Structure 1
Amino acid sequence: MSYLKFEKALMTNLQDSLPKELLRTNRSGAYSCSTVVDCNTRKYHGLLVVPVPELDDENHVLLSSLDPTVIQHGASFNLGLHKYQGNNFSPQGHKYIREFDCGTVPTTLYRVGGVLLKKEVVFQHYEDRILIRYTLLEAHSKTTLQFRPFLAFRSVRQFTHENGAADRSYEVVDNGISTCMYAGYPSLFMQFSKKNEFHFEPYWYRGLEYPKEQERGYASNEDLYVPGYFEMNISKGESVVFAASTTECRTSSLKKLFEKEVESRSPRDNFFHCLVNAAHQFHNRTKNDERYILAGYPWFKCRARDQFIALPGLTLSIEEQDYFELVMKTAEKGLREFMEGKPLSVKIYEMEKPDVPLWCIWAIQQYAKEVGKERCRELYMNLIRDVVAYLAASKHPNLTLDENGLLYADAKGEAITWMNSTNNGHPVVPRSGYIVEFNALWYNALRFTAAMELESGNEERAKELEELAEKCKVSFVDTFLNEYGYLYDYVDGRMIDWSVRPNMVFAVALDYSPLDQKQKRSVLDVCTRELLTPKGLRSLSPKSGGYNPMYTGPQSQRDLAYHQGTAWPWLGGFYLEACLKLYKQTRLSFVERQLVGYEDEMFNHCLSTLPELFDGNPPFSGRGAISFAMNVAEVLRTLELLEKYKF
């Protein structure tokens, strides 16, 4: 029995199958995404979605979908599925699905009378090309296949509608055609591994509807252009490969290319392997060989904070230190450019956020533990020194090192922490002054750097850093710890935030903590009582004012809920790390039980990955981006920690 396999009963019930999405990516940031029944429910869905840097920094849907039709004895059976206005589904090809298996490559079996047709899909790793193999497993008479491509040629943030500006011309290429609807776009090449006939029958399909956009309070309707259809005969046992790409390919090599891509895939046969597959989906490589971690799909780019937090889990926890080093090489370039006041030459967003350098040191600290301190000093010692010196000298435009040893951040009415949602231009969670996780990270960075300096033989510098760390430790406890045993979220002069938030958990989870054991236990107990859910830590306690746990409705409503009670798995990763550090093997079974809540998500929302966040109240529904790097990373890191504490 395959780990990710769904039978006919589920696939034909749209209430169960439509919420299940499937994502395939490559290293350029291009992707293919839809539901398991191939019915697009988001404007971000598409069979071939690619970056078009000549136009903008967004991804663009070129090929929205491909409808196959089986013809026998003059009868046509369309296997496609689209949702139209008025809750109308057509042509309802899902009713022919016998089973769906996402083990190695996504595979769908269709039963149409005496015909059994298998469809397998891969997204080529290093080309913007989707490959679909159709195999006729059973047929009792002559069988013909038709394929209708639905074209969009638009940004993922927009819609296309019937218009006279669309270029309907096409060129015949090897076993297919190429076409380009609008100037500035690359041509779309649609080719098959065998000869076929293309019938030019241009038609606009009007009023397609995307229910996920409706849920989010956005416009949800568009029209798609179908230039015609491809037609070919197929024999029992025969396979045909379809390719859609921005470059032409040799069709004689398509079958071998498909096999090669399948061989490079690792199976999704358990929880861990699902997460490893998901981890690789965030890898991004540019033409000049820079490497990045994308924050999530389908709408996030590379964000500095997300990248540093996700990097250890997505690489070191699965023994891929080489990719850690490649990403850090690019990230170091960007961080140094920022610290030197130069324009960034790398594609990393939000480098200016004040906690980014602190998370960079945390990521390097994880590298030192996994790979070794000697290698860490060789690669990153200069960067660590420079970052600490930069912060200690108050050179960051939004961070000042005060006399008490704490870092002070003046938010200036902006959202400067990871709790970055805004409403009408103002932060929903206005955090400023002494921010708890900033200073927990600062103390950790000072102690880690001091230890590295000592091992490098720089005893005088190590002593200076230890003295600063001790000052920071005393001030941290005096500033943040309250009489109820938890930590203030931030303190800015007379403004003290008493809200119970998860940001205090970092003071317990980090390797170097300013808290003693009793204080750690007290903080962790509050997190357990008020913030813990099966899907991570809530961003706000239900007992605190403004608790808003349901991330639903239009954008403004979701902005108000984003960090006001929703649950985040990546925070849960640090919480579980804190549990293991404090209670060691006595909490192993508890951590294992907590991870079950994440494994359940492999079969829901987007298969084999974790979404951005969850509602803070039962049933803890997944929300936001369908695949989120920090969440996948922290669950992988927790699994690794669990194994270390077992042995």
Structure 2
Amino acid sequence: MSYLRFDKTLMTNLEESLTREILRTNRSGAYHCSTIVDCNTRKYHGLLVIPVPELDDENHVLLSSLDETVIQHGAEFNLGLHKYHGDNFSPRGHKYIREFECEKVPTTIYRVGGVVLKKEKLFVHHENRILIRYTLLDAHSSTTLRLRPYLAFRSVRQYTHENAQASRQYDAVKNGIKTCMYPGYPELFMQTNCPNEFHFQPDWYRGIEYPKEQERGYDFNEDLYVPGYFEMEITKDHPVVFSGGISEIETANLDQLFSEEADRRTPRDNFKHCLINAAHQFLNKQGDESYVLAGYPWFKCRARDMFISLPGLMLAINETDKFETVMDTASKAIYEFMKGEPATLKVYEMEHPDVLLWAVWTIQQYAKMVSRDAARSKYGALLKDIMTYLAEGKHPNLRVCDNGLVYAQGRDKAITWMNAMSNGRPVTPRTGYIVEFNTLWYNALMFVGELLGEGGDTEFAGTLTQLAEKAGKAFIDTFLNEYGYLLDYVDGDMMDWSVRPNMIFAAAFDYSPLNAKQKKGVIDIVTKELLTPKGLRSLSPKSGGYNPNYVGPQIQRDYAYHQGTAWPWLEGFYLEAYLRIYKRSAISFVERQMISFEDELSLHCVGSIPELFDGNPPFRGRGAISFAMNVAQILRTLNLLEKYDNQ
């Protein structure tokens, strides 16, 4: 039995099936995303969603969906599913589904009378092409397959509506057609591996609704253009393969291409393999540059997220070459920022004060998981340049103070990972001496000092070590309070006593100003007030302003984003700290925490972990359906567990 399998009972229950989404990417920015019953519920959903750099920096939905109709003895059975006004679903093709599984590729089995049809979907790696293979498993008489494409040709941030400007022009190509609705877009080629008859019946399907957008307080309906339909005979011996892409393809090879691509996929047959597949989806190769997307379906490459994610997404699964490739691009972005040059790379938010410190932490993990000599050889110069840049006060918003701590101004703009803004102001204004900034700073001083000192640069190493000693003492005096936990930030006489998870890094990092007893105190209060089965709460229920449910329109969600919601990536650092303090005796506890995340693989985005969870039971998954930092830190935790098991 497949590890990720859903039976008829769940698939035909729309309350259950519409909440489960499926994501496939081409590792170059394009993706396919929908629900497991192929009913789009978000404006971000679509069969072929690709970047169109000639237009803008967003993804664009070209092919929204493809409705299948099985025809036998003149009777038509439409397998499609769309939502219209008033909770009306049509044509309710989900009632024919017998099962769905996605061990290698998403596979749906339909039964219509005596016809049993298997549908498989995959995205070709590094190509803007979706392939759908239809295999007739059983039929007692001749069967016709009809394919009706729904076109959007719009940004994922917008909607399309019936208009006179949309071109209805199409041209015939081998076993299909090509068309383009608007100038500036690439042509969409729709072809099959067998001869078909295309019936030109242009029409708009009006008032299609996306309930996920309605939940989030946005506009939620659009019209989709259908140019007509393809019709062909299907037999048991010859599967039909549909290709949707932005270039013409040799149709005779489509079935072979599908099989070859499917064979290259890692089976999703256990918890770790699912996470490895999810990790691969965040890689975004654009020409000679490689990035890590922060999440799907709407995030771009954010610098902080990339550096926090890299060790888990790549080093923890022994893909060092991919780590180095992404770091090559990241290093260029770092130097552009430090030199004040215009940004030419698609790495966003490089200016945030902690980003360079997270880059140091990333290289530190490379030193631990690959080798210190390799880290010094490949990244030693970069590390020295970063630390010199920061120590000399060149960063526009990270100042080294006389006491050795770093200070950042965050009253007017959100500068930490708690980055929600409302009415132009930070929802969680954190400013001055920020606890994780200074934890990162102390860790960077110690690590770079030791690494470069081992390589013979003793003078620079000595400077960093002296600064670390000063910063370490000031850290204790500034952040450690009489209740045994760390203040979240301190700015002059303003001290934030809120119990937040940002203190956990001081217990998790290799180098910390805290002693073992102080680390245990931090772990204890985090365990007591912040730990949930789905991550660490962003704020304790005992602190003022606790708001654990990430629901409602945008402003309501902004005020809940970091005020009690639970974040899995933070738990990765918590479990690292827990293992550091309790060692082998902590293994069973960490394993139990992992079980809760394994349960999530079949609940939100099948095979992946969403962005965040409500901070109160039942801890529902919210936000982006697949989030890089969460997948990364769970993979890194599994890697740490393996090391402890092998000790």
Shorter-chain TM range is over 0.9
| Matching residue of 1:512 | 511
| Matching residue of 2:499 | 500
| Matching residue of 1:398 | 397
**Aligned 8 A contact 1:154 1:160 in 2:** yes
Q: CA deviation at 1:142?
A: 0.8
**Aligned 8 A contact 2:61 2:154 in 1:** yes
SS in 1 for 2:70: strand
**Aligned 8 A contact 1:451 1:462 in 2:** yes
**Aligned 8 A contact 1:18 1:37 in 2:** yes
| Matching residue of 1:241 | 241
Q: Does 1:141 align with 2:133?
A: no
**Aligned 8 A contact 2:62 2:153 in 1:** yes
Percent identity of paired positions between Structure 1 and Structure 2? 69
Amino acid at match of 2:312: G
Q: TM-score, normalised by structure 2?
A: 0.99
Amino acid at match of 1:94: H
Q: CA deviation at 1:460?
A: 2.9
Amino acid at match of 1:436: V
**Aligned 8 A contact 1:138 1:237 in 2:** no
User: Partners of 1:375 and 1:331 in 2: how far apart?
Assistant: 18
Q: CA deviation at 1:344?
A: 1.4
**Aligned 8 A contact 2:376 2:452 in 1:** no
Note the 1:367-516 alignment, pairs <5 A: 367-516=366-515
Amino acid at match of 1:151: L
**Aligned 8 A contact 2:192 2:242 in 1:** yes
| Matching residue of 2:612 | 613
| Matching residue of 1:646 | 645
Q: CA deviation at 1:237?
A: 3.1
| Matching residue of 2:572 | 573
User: Partners of 1:15 and 1:597 in 2: how far apart?
Assistant: 22
Q: Does 1:223 align with 2:227?
A: no
Amino acid at match of 1:127: E
| Matching residue of 2:360 | 361
| Matching residue of 2:280 | 280
Q: CA deviation at 1:238?
A: 2.2
Q: Does 1:18 align with 2:18?
A: yes
Amino acid at match of 1:531: L
Q: CA deviation at 1:283?
A: 0.4
Note the 1:105-120 alignment, pairs <5 A: 105-120=105-120
User: Partners of 2:241 and 2:606 in 1: how far apart?
Assistant: 24
User: Partners of 2:51 and 2:458 in 1: how far apart?
Assistant: 50
Q: CA deviation at 1:461?
A: 2.5
CA offset digits 1:509-550 (Å, max 9, x no partner): 001011011110001101000000001100000000000000
User: Partners of 2:578 and 2:461 in 1: how far apart?
Assistant: 30
Runs of 4 or more, structure 1, over 3 Å off, are none
Q: CA deviation at 1:28?
A: 1.7
User: Partners of 1:492 and 1:569 in 2: how far apart?
Assistant: 29
User: Partners of 2:586 and 2:92 in 1: how far apart?
Assistant: 49
| Matching residue of 1:157 | 157
CA offset digits 1:438-458 (Å, max 9, x no partner): 000000001001111221122
**Aligned 8 A contact 2:411 2:430 in 1:** no
CA offset digits 1:346-405 (Å, max 9, x no partner): 110000000000000000000000110111111000011111111111110001100100
User: Partners of 2:629 and 2:645 in 1: how far apart?
Assistant: 24
User: Partners of 1:378 and 1:345 in 2: how far apart?
Assistant: 26
| Matching residue of 2:259 | 259
SS in 1 for 2:41: coil
| Matching residue of 1:104 | 104
Gaps of at least 5 residues in structure 2 are none
CA offset digits 1:583-609 (Å, max 9, x no partner): 101111110001111111110110000
**Aligned 8 A contact 1:399 1:408 in 2:** yes
| Matching residue of 1:321 | 320
SS in 2 for 1:403: coil
| Matching residue of 1:126 | 126
| Matching residue of 1:623 | 622
User: Partners of 2:572 and 2:407 in 1: how far apart?
Assistant: 27
CA offset digits 1:483-532 (Å, max 9, x no partner): 01100000000111010000000000001011011110001101000000
Amino acid at match of 1:635: I
**Aligned 8 A contact 2:442 2:512 in 1:** yes
Amino acid at match of 1:399: L
Q: How many residues align?
A: 646
CA offset digits 1:37-88 (Å, max 9, x no partner): 0000000000000101111110000000000100001100000000111000
**Aligned 8 A contact 2:411 2:426 in 1:** no
Amino acid at match of 2:505: F
User: Partners of 1:81 and 1:44 in 2: how far apart?
Assistant: 17
User: Partners of 2:96 and 2:175 in 1: how far apart?
Assistant: 28
User: Partners of 2:152 and 2:463 in 1: how far apart?
Assistant: 61
User: Partners of 1:459 and 1:333 in 2: how far apart?
Assistant: 27
| Matching residue of 1:601 | 600
CA offset digits 1:293-324 (Å, max 9, x no partner): 00000000000000000000000000000011
| Matching residue of 1:213 | 213
Q: CA deviation at 1:412?
A: 4.8
Q: CA deviation at 1:255?
A: 1.2
User: Partners of 2:485 and 2:166 in 1: how far apart?
Assistant: 61
- 409-418 vs 434-443, greater mean Cα deviation: 409-418
- 340-349 vs 302-311, greater mean Cα deviation: 340-349
User: Partners of 1:411 and 1:364 in 2: how far apart?
Assistant: 27
- 335-344 vs 458-467, greater mean Cα deviation: 458-467
Amino acid at match of 2:18: L
Q: Does 1:4 align with 2:12?
A: no
SS in 2 for 1:111: strand
Amino acid at match of 1:389: T
User: Partners of 1:213 and 1:453 in 2: how far apart?
Assistant: 51
User: Partners of 2:232 and 2:465 in 1: how far apart?
Assistant: 74
| Matching residue of 2:178 | 178
Amino acid at match of 1:467: Q
SS in 1 for 2:240: strand
Q: CA deviation at 1:464?
A: 2.0
Q: CA deviation at 1:463?
A: 2.2
User: Partners of 2:605 and 2:396 in 1: how far apart?
Assistant: 39
SS in 2 for 1:206: strand
Q: CA deviation at 1:235?
A: 1.5
Q: Does 1:348 align with 2:347?
A: yes
User: Partners of 1:463 and 1:334 in 2: how far apart?
Assistant: 28
User: Partners of 1:379 and 1:458 in 2: how far apart?
Assistant: 15
Q: CA deviation at 1:459?
A: 2.5
Amino acid at match of 2:174: D
Q: TM-score, normalised by structure 1?
A: 0.99
SS in 2 for 1:561: coil
Amino acid at match of 2:573: F
**Aligned 8 A contact 1:137 1:237 in 2:** no
Q: CA deviation at 1:263?
A: 1.1
User: Partners of 2:458 and 2:62 in 1: how far apart?
Assistant: 60
Gaps of at least 5 residues in structure 1 are none
C-alpha RMSD over aligned residues: 0.7
| Matching residue of 1:28 | 28
SS in 1 for 2:609: coil
Amino acid at match of 1:357: L
Amino acid at match of 1:585: R
User: Partners of 2:571 and 2:85 in 1: how far apart?
Assistant: 40
Amino acid at match of 2:82: H
| Matching residue of 2:189 | 189
Amino acid at match of 1:29: G
- 350-359 vs 407-416, greater mean Cα deviation: 407-416
